[in-house]
Amino acid sequence: MPGDHASAELLAAMGSLLITVRDVPLRLDTPGIDEARETQAAVTDQLSDYVLPRLVQLDAPLLAVVGGSTGAGKSTLVNSLVGERVTESGVLRPTTRSPVLVHHPDDAAWFQPDRILPDLPRTLAIGNDSYALRLASSAKIPKGLAILDAPDVDSIDKGNRDLAAQLLAAADLWLFVTSAARYADQVPWDYLRQAAERSTSVAVVLDRTSDEAVIEVRGHLARMMTSRGLSDSPLFTVPESGLDADGLLPADAVAPMVGWLHELAADPKARQMVVHRTLDGAVRHVVLRTHDVADALDAQIEVAESLYRDAETIQRKELDELATQTSDGTLLRGEVLASWQEFVGTGELLKSVEEKVSRIRDRFVDGMTGKRTRSTEVVDAIETAVHMLLVEHAESAAEQIARSWGGSTPGRQMLDRQRGLDRASQDFRVKAERTVHDWRQSVLELVRVEGADKRMTARFLAFGVNGIAVALMIVMFSRSTDGTGAGGTATLGRKLLDAIFGEAVVDDLVERAHADLDSRVAALFETELHRFHTLLDPPETLKIVQATLREAARKAEYARHADFLDGETTS
Ligand SMILES: Nc1nc2c(ncn2[C@@H]2O[C@H](COP(=O)(O)OP(=O)(O)O)[C@@H](O)[C@H]2O)c(=O)[nH]1
Ligand SMILES: [Mg+2]
C-alpha cells in the first residue's frame, strides 16, 4: 500500500470476504467443528474489528495495545508511559474491568464506536463492565498515538482472556509486557508466535527486572525472540523500581520507550510502516484462515449429503413399494374386494356386457340407480384402503429415516432440534385423505372426458361415470397381475372397459390413472421428507458457499498483492 489510501479493490475484497465468511453455515457437529467455528469467528472479528476500519482510515492514530500476563505491570507501565494515572493498577484484581484506551483529546473522534472495534460498547466512566471500552483522553500522550491497556492474556476469567485476544487483534502495534518471572510462560509465547506468524508489529517489554537479573534474562529473552521469528522486534527493558505516589515508575525507567513511541507518533512514514506491516499480515492471515473454513465445509458437505441421501433412499423405497402395491393386487382384498364383487355380481355383468346393446339397455337401465349407489360404496372402500396404505408407508419412512439419522452424531443433533420426526407428520392423515379423494375426482374426470362421446351409449349409461371409474381403479390395482387370484375379478372390469373404450384407450387410461396417483402421492410424501431436509443446508448450497468462500479468499489475496506489494519491497 504505497500511499495513505487503500485501493477500492482491496476494500471491496475485504468487505465481501467479511460477509462471505460470516455467513458460512457450519451447523453440523462434524469432527473438529468447534475449531472451525472459532476460526470463522476470529476471521470475522479480525476483519470487522481491525482490517476494514483500518483500511477505511489509514491516517487514524496508531493504536498500541499493551498485552501480557497477569501482574506483569501492564497498567503501571501504561500510566508511566502516558505520564499520568489513566488506568487502574493493583494487586487486587476484580475479575471484570473495562479495558482503557488512552488518546490525545484531538484524536477522540477516531475511537468512536463506528470506527475500530465497532461491536465493543464505549464508556467514559470507570466501571466494572468488562465488555466495554473505556475511553480516556490525556493531553500528555502525543497526537497520532493511542495506548490501550488490555486485560491479562492468561486471566482466570475466560471473558477477560477473550477480550484480551480481541483487543490485540485490533492493534497496529503490540506492546507485549513480560517480566523476569514470567517471560518463559506458555500463554504469552502462544501470542508472540501468533504475532510472528502474522507479522504483526510488536515490541516486547521486559518489565520489573532487577539489575542482577537483567543481563541474563534479557539475553535469554532476545534469543527466544530470534528463534521464534521476532528478531526484528524491539526489546525494551524496564528496571524494577519504586513507584511514586501516583503509582508511576520513575521517568528514566521508561524514557527509551517513551522516546521511541513519541518518535513513532511524530513520523507519519514510520507510523505507516508499522501499520502496513500489521495490516498486511492480518490480511494474509485472514485469507489463510478463510481457506481453513472452506476446508471445514468438506465434512459438512459430506455429512449433509449422506443424511440427505439416506432420507431420500428410504423415502424412494417406500414410494416404490407403494407404486407396486397399487398395481399388484394388494389392494384387492377385504372391503374393496367384497364391495367390488357385490357390484359386478357373479359373472352376470360380464355376460351382459357381451350381449347386444339393446338388451343391455333393457336389463340395466332399471337397476341403474342401485348400481350407482353400490359403485360409491366400492369407491369409498378403495379410498379407505389407499389411505391406510399411505399412512402405513409414511409412518414407516419416518421411523426408518429417524433411525438412520440417529446412527450418527450430526444426524442425532439434527433430530434433537425437532421432536417427533420418527412419526409421520401430525396432519398427514388429513392430507392423505384429501390426496386420495382428489385422485378419485381426477379418475372420475378422466372417465368423463374420455367418455364424452359415449355418454349416451347404453353401457355408459348402465354403469355411470362412477361405476366405470370404479372399474378403472380396480383394473389399475391389478394391472401387474396375471389375471388370476384376486386379480381375476378385475378381469370383469377390464372387459367392461374394453367394451366401452377399446383396449388401447383402456391401457392408456389405466396408465394415466396410476401415474396420477403416483404423482399426487409423491407430492404428499415430499412434504414429509422436507421435514428432514429443512434441518440441513442442502449439499449443493454448501458447495456453492465453499466455492464462493475460496473465490473471495483468492480475490482478497490478489488485492493484497496489488495493494501492499506494489511499490513496496517488504512482503
Ligand atoms: N515496585 C513496583 N511495583 C510494580 C511495578 N510494576 C507493577 N507494580 C505493582 O504490581 C502490581 C501489578 O501491577 P499492574 O500494573 O496492575 O499489572 P498488570 O496486571 O500487568 O496490569 C501493582 O500492585 C503494581 O503497583 C514496578 O515496576 N515496581
Ligand atoms: Mg492491569
What's the pLDDT tens digit per position in 305-334?
A: 999 999 999 999 999 999 999 999 999 989
Q: Give the chain's mean pLDDT.
A: 88
**pLDDT for position 356:** 42
Place of cell 504505497: 2
- Which triple of cell numbers denotes residue 384? 379407505
Q: Tell me the three-class secondary structure of 522-550, residue by residue.
A: HHHHHHHHHHHHCCCCCHHHHHHHHHHHH
Nearest CA to ligand 1 atom 4: 73
Q: Tell me the three-class secondary structure of 167-187, residue by residue.
A: HHHCCCEEEEEEECCCCCCHH
CA 141 vs CA 8, 66, 278, 403: distances in Å: 33, 15, 22, 66
Which atom of ligand 1 approaches the CA of 70 most closely?
19
Give the residue numbers spanning the domain of 197: 60-266
From the CA of 3, how far away is ligand 2's center (Å)?
36
- Which triple of cell numbers denotes residue 102? 488512552
Give the pLDDT mean for 37-58: 94
Which atom of ligand 1 approaches the CA of 71 most closely?
19
Domain assignment present for residue 316? The answer is no
Sheet (strand 62-68) strand order: 122-123, 133-137, 100-103, 145-149, 62-68, 173-179, 201-209, 235-239
- Do 432 and 401 share a structural domain? yes
Taking the C-alpha atoms of residue 391 and residue 398, their distance in angstroms, rounded to an integer, is: 11
- Do 553 and 404 share a structural domain? no
- Do 50 and 165 share a structural domain? no
Which atom of ligand 1 approaches the CA of 69 most closely?
20
The winner for highest mean pLDDT among 12-16, 337-341, 363-367, 495-499 is: 12-16
φ and ψ at 482, to 5 degrees?
A: -90, 10
- Which triple of cell numbers denotes residue 273? 510502516
Which tens digits make up the pLDDT trace of 347-402? 455 555 555 444 444 444 444 444 445 788 899 999 999 999 999 999 999 999 99
Ligand 1: does its nearest atom lie under 6 Å from the Cβ of 182? no
Which atom of ligand 1 approaches the CA of 242 most closely?
1
Which atom of ligand 1 approaches the CA of 177 most closely?
20
**pLDDT tier at 91, thresholds 50, 70, 90:** low
Burial class (CB in 10 A: 0-12, 13-18, 19+), 295: middle
Cβ within 8 Å of residue 1, ≥6 positions away: 7, 10, 58, 276, 279, 280, 563, 564, 568
185 vs 438 pLDDT, higher one: 438
Domain assignment present for residue 308? The answer is no
Q: Are 126 and 92 in contact (CB under 8 A)?
A: no
- Do 495 and 427 share a structural domain? yes
pTM for this prediction: 0.79
Q: Which among 89, 183, 206, 254 is the best mutation to test ligand 1's pocket, defined by most ligand atoms within 8 Å of the CB?
A: 89
Taking the C-alpha atoms of residue 487 and residue 479, their distance in angstroms, rounded to an integer, is: 8
- Do 116 and 166 share a structural domain? yes
Ligand 1: does its nearest atom lie under 6 Å from the Cβ of 243? yes
- Do 275 and 193 share a structural domain? no
- Which triple of cell numbers denotes residue 437? 379423494
CA torsion 81-86-92-95 (nearest 10°) is: -110
- Which triple of cell numbers denotes residue 451? 367418455
H/E stretch holding 553: helix 539-560
Predicted confidence (pLDDT) at residue 277 exceeds the cutoff of 80: yes
Domain assignment present for residue 320? The answer is no
Predicted confidence (pLDDT) at residue 496 exceeds the cutoff of 50: yes
CA 2 vs CA 54, 110, 198, 557, 569: distances in Å: 15, 22, 20, 17, 10
Domain assignment present for residue 235? The answer is yes
- Do 360 and 244 share a structural domain? no
From the CA of 162, how far away is ligand 1's center (Å)?
22
**pLDDT for position 341:** 84
Nearest to 50 by CA among 244, 265, 236, 201: 201
Place of cell 521511541: 260
Ligand 1: does its nearest atom lie under 6 Å from the Cβ of 249? yes
Predicted confidence (pLDDT) at residue 138 exceeds the cutoff of 60: yes
Domain assignment present for residue 319? The answer is no
Taking the C-alpha atoms of residue 404 and residue 402, their distance in angstroms, rounded to an integer, is: 5
- Do 211 and 234 share a structural domain? yes
Q: Are 521 and 442 in contact (CB under 8 A)?
A: no
- Do 98 and 14 share a structural domain? no
**Count: domains in the chain:** 3
**pLDDT for position 4:** 63
490 vs 51 pLDDT, higher one: 51
Q: Looking at 87-96, 413-422, 475-484, which range is the least confident one?
A: 87-96
291 has which bridge partners?
A: none
Nearest to 354 by CA among 458, 504, 509: 458
Ligand 1: does its nearest atom lie under 6 Å from the Cβ of 72? yes
Domain assignment present for residue 555? The answer is yes
Tell which of 266, 289, 312 closes a domain.
266
Query: Residue 140's domain is classified under what CATH number?
Result: 3.40.50.300
From the CA of 10, how far away is ligand 1's center (Å)?
42
**pLDDT tier at 1, thresholds 50, 70, 90:** low
**Helix/strand/coil for 402:** helix
Q: Which among 75, 76, 176, 214 is the best mutation to test ligand 1's pocket, defined by most ligand atoms within 8 Å of the CB?
A: 76
Cβ within 8 Å of residue 319, ≥6 positions away: 393, 518, 521, 522, 525
- Do 372 and 387 share a structural domain? yes
Domain assignment present for residue 132? The answer is yes
Domain assignment present for residue 275? The answer is yes
- Do 138 and 171 share a structural domain? yes
Ligand 1: does its nearest atom lie under 6 Å from the Cβ of 239? no
| Strands of 201-298, DSSP E | 201-209, 235-239
Ligand 1: does its nearest atom lie under 6 Å from the Cβ of 188? no
With left for phi above 0 and alpha for psi between -120 and 50, is residue 43 left, alpha or beta?
alpha
CA torsion 141-142-146-151 (nearest 10°) is: -30
Give the pLDDT mean for 102-130: 84
**pLDDT tier at 427, thresholds 50, 70, 90:** very high
Nearest CA to ligand 1 atom 24: 90
| Rg of the Cα atoms in the chain | 40
**pLDDT for position 115:** 80
- Give the rounded percent of residues in the chain with a pLDDT score beyond 90: 68
Ligand 1: does its nearest atom lie under 6 Å from the Cβ of 327? no
Nearest CA to ligand 1 atom 23: 90
Give the pLDDT mean for 470-489: 80
From the CA of 143, how far away is ligand 1's center (Å)?
26
- Do 23 and 64 share a structural domain? no
